[in-house]
Amino acid sequence: MQSPGREGSLTGSPSRPDRRWIAWAVAAGCVAALLRLLLYDDGFWIDEVQSVDTADRPVGGLLTQTGLADVHPPLYYLTLKLWRFLFGESDAAARCLSILFGAGTVSLFVAWARKQLTPAALSVATLLIVVSTFHVHYSVEVRSYAMLTFLALALAWALSRWVDRPPDRPGRALAAVLVIEIALALTHYYGLLVILAVQPYIFAHQGLSAARVRRWAAGQAVVLGAIAWWIPLLLVQMLDLPAGFTAHLAEGPSVADLFAAWGPASALEPHLVAVAAGVLVVGIAAWGAFIREAETPLEASKGTSARRMMALAALLLVIGPVLALGLLPLSETTFDVVANRVLPTYVVEVVVVLTLLGAVWAHQRLRVRLRLPLAFWIVVVPLVVVGVMQLFKPTLSIRNLLFTLPFVAALLGRRVNTWPRWAAVAVGSVILGLAVPSQLAMPEGFSPRADYRGVSAQIREMHPKAEPPIAMLSRFDVGALAHYSADCSLNGTYRFRCACAADGRCGRRIVGVSDLQAVTTRGRPPFLLLLTREAAMGAEATATAVKKAFPKARVEQHAFRGLVLLDVAR
């Protein structure tokens, strides 16, 4: 996107570049990091426990576990593994990785948007990201969302630099784009949607020559070849894993929840206020999306040939799909499962390469030119694709769309560019005024994390010894409690016994159950029953059923965030 060309923008004069934006970017990132550090001291919930459990495996086991028993690519887990090796294995250390990506997103946004927005507009857009409840919450989550958002913005920054480079000096800028695309694809599968979203921006760009577009298409083939070793495992995750892995995504978020997330106050009550704030932000952003880009003259067809990249892409596309079979520690059964997805991988490669060739042909012959900003494509294309996917196989969780927030902020800033300064101050004041009470309402008000650390401490206080046993409903969350239980290690998903100490005494037995009947028919007091997820919402009915099944038992109920503990004693 082009500079707005207004006096006072952060681009500086051509003869003397203004470096004040560096201090601005660092300061904004530091404020964002401090806000996230101050607001959160939560323990892990089950998804975060699974992250650290996967990261703690040997590299070969990590890749195999991720490819055959997960629904994500491996790069975040590998990054977390390195981070834990360098900075320790505490909860706080793991959260700091996400905080680093979250704060880095804010600083990188300033670096990317400074040439597009005036200081006032840039301030408003940056403020939205810094104080967004949505972004703050997932910038401390030990999952890949903050890393995905950072890489998506890094791609936009690198792509803008490549587009603005003279056609005879594109090499390093294009290489940076391709490396970031590979990292995106291997961090989160929504990264593939970001890569898809930038294609129409390039192939319909009015200022790029045919030679430059051919080099772009060859580079995209290189990216495909670089991730080809993982595509068979992606197909395994899509086609061979049980439906239960994504069953919790069946309903998906409501449209109101989406609007609230893009606003500054997702946790604000009543929820209608949060939704209205989101509608205001999205409305201004949509208005800004259709400010047409400045005319860009067609560049001369200069620069290096794409033949070397095409040769590299061909090599990677041929050998990539079979690499997983040779590199991963697979059993005979899992080898066959992955091998069955190698041929479909080659089919996927052929389809993508033909699509790229068709796009190059269309760029040269049809000369379709769309003057829409990059941020528009990165927001709209994933939403359209995900919306279509929801009709056939719902897989959308609102946290997967965190990467769209900086681009919504950029579109908001484009419209604020055209307003007087007092209007920008008014918008910024509304954002800040709504964000403060929303932040104070967290973590209870927005996607609260179940307090396994608190309930584990309560159990140790009530029952210092390794008895009575604990039954957990639902069984999927056993690992989260084990993470905070003394002398325990996660060595099973649904049912395991805590590790034994050197003197032969074993830890508390924790059993995951799928329904209450398994407890009332097989269990005998004393025992502890920990209710999670939907079961916690029906705690009163469950307590009544337990009293009915064991009329002589005493049942005490203890409530925690997202959890209810029933202490069933004789």
Best-predicted range by mean pLDDT (20-34, 235-249, 382-396): 20-34
Percent of the chain with pLDDT over 90: 51
Backbone angles phi, psi at 511, to 5 degrees: -125, 130
Are 74 and 60 within 8 A, CB to CB? Answer: no
Q: Which residue has the higher pLDDT, 278 or 522?
A: 278
Q: Which of 137-141, 342-346, 501-505 has the lowest mean pLDDT?
A: 501-505
Tens of pLDDT, residue by residue over 469-500, are: 888 887 778 888 888 875 444 433 333 344 44
Burial of 43 (0-12, 13-18, 19+ CB in 10 A): buried
Q: What percent of the chain has pLDDT above 70?
A: 87
What's the pTM value of the predicted model, to 2 decimals?
0.90
DSSP symbols for 339-402: HTTHHHHHHHHHHHHHHHHHHHHHHHHT-------HHHHHHHHHHHHHHHHHHHS----GGGGG
More confident position, 304 or 389: 389
In contact, 449 and 45? CB cutoff 8 Å: yes
Please state the length of the chain.
570
How much is the mean pLDDT over the chain?
A: 85
Res. 216: pLDDT tops 80: yes
Contacts of residue 29, defined as CB under 8 A and 6 or more positions apart, other chains included, come to: 103, 104, 106, 107
* Residue 521, pLDDT score: 76
- CA angle (70, 239, 198) in 5-degree steps: 80
**Res. 333: pLDDT tops 60:** yes
Q: Report H helices in 56-139.
A: 59-69, 75-87, 91-113, 119-131, 133-138
Q: What share of residues in the chain are helix, strand, coil (percent, to 5)? A: 65, 5, 30
| Interatomic CA distance for residues 322 and 339, integer angstroms | 8
Q: Is 31 exposed, middle or buried (0-12, 13-18, 19+ CB in 10 A)?
A: middle
Residue 334 has, within 13 A of its CA and on its CB side, a CA count of 18
Q: In this model, does residue 511 exceed pLDDT 70?
A: yes
Specify the pLDDT at position 501: 44
Q: Please give the average per-residue pLDDT across 13-41, as a whole number.
A: 80
pLDDT, tens digit, for every residue of 266-297? Answer: 888 888 999 999 999 999 999 998 887 665 65
Closest CA to 39 of 454, 400, 445, 455: 445
The DSSP code for 555 is E
Q: What is the mean pLDDT of residues 11-37?
A: 77
Average pLDDT over residues 115-135: 95
**SS3 letters across 93-113:** HHHHHHHHHHHHHHHHHHHHH
Nearest Cα to Cα of residue 45 among 418, 382, 447, 374 = 447
Query: Average pLDDT for residues 228-254, to the nearest whole number?
Result: 80
- Amino acid 127: pLDDT: 97
Pairwise pLDDT comparison (397 vs 216), residue with the higher score: 216
Q: DSSP readout, 448-511?
A: PPP-HHHHHHHHHHH--SS-S-EEEESGGGHHHHHHTSTT-----SSEEEPPBPTTS-B--EEE
**Residue 427 and residue 283 in contact, taking contact as beta carbons nearer than 8 Å:** no
**So what's the pLDDT on residue 500?**
43
Higher confidence at residue 244 or residue 425? 425
**Is the pLDDT at 504 greater than 50, yes or no?**
no
- Stretch 391-416: mean pLDDT: 91
The band of 306, judged by pLDDT with boundaries at 50, 70 and 90, is: confident
Sequence-distant (6+) residues with CB within 8 A of 428 are 123, 124, 127
Question: What type of residue sits at position 437?
Answer: P
Checking if the pLDDT of 445 tops 70, the result is no
pLDDT attached to residue 100: 97
Quick one: pLDDT at residue 496? 35
State the pLDDT at residue 391: 82
pLDDT at residue 9 in the model: 40
Say whether 298 sits in a helix, a strand or coil: coil
Would you state the pLDDT for residue 262?
94
- The residue ranking higher by pLDDT, 6 or 264, is 264
| Among the ranges given (46-50, 54-58, 296-300, 332-336), the one the predictor scored with the smallest mean pLDDT | 296-300
In tens, the pLDDT along 55-108 reads: 999 999 999 989 998 889 999 999 999 999 999 988 899 999 999 999 999 999
359-377 residue pLDDT tens: 999 988 887 777 789 999 9
**Which pLDDT band, with edges at 50, 70 and 90, does 46 fall under?**
confident
**Is the pLDDT assigned to residue 561 strictly greater than 80?**
yes
* Tokens 């899992």 -> residue: 334
What is the reported pLDDT for 7? 35
Task: Name the residue with tokens 């996230």.
Answer: 36
Residue 17: pLDDT over 80: no
Q: What does the pLDDT read at residue 250?
A: 63
Per-residue model confidence (pLDDT) at position 275: 94
Tell which residue, 465, 478, 467, has the closest CA to residue 530: 478
Q: Using the predicted structure, report yes or no on whether residue 235 has a pLDDT greater than 70.
A: yes
Is the pLDDT score of 350 beyond 50? yes
The pLDDT of residue 418 is above 90: yes
Residue 443: per-residue pLDDT:
64
Listed range (86-90, 113-117, 173-177, 441-445) with the worst mean pLDDT = 441-445
Q: Is the pLDDT of residue 15 over 50?
A: no
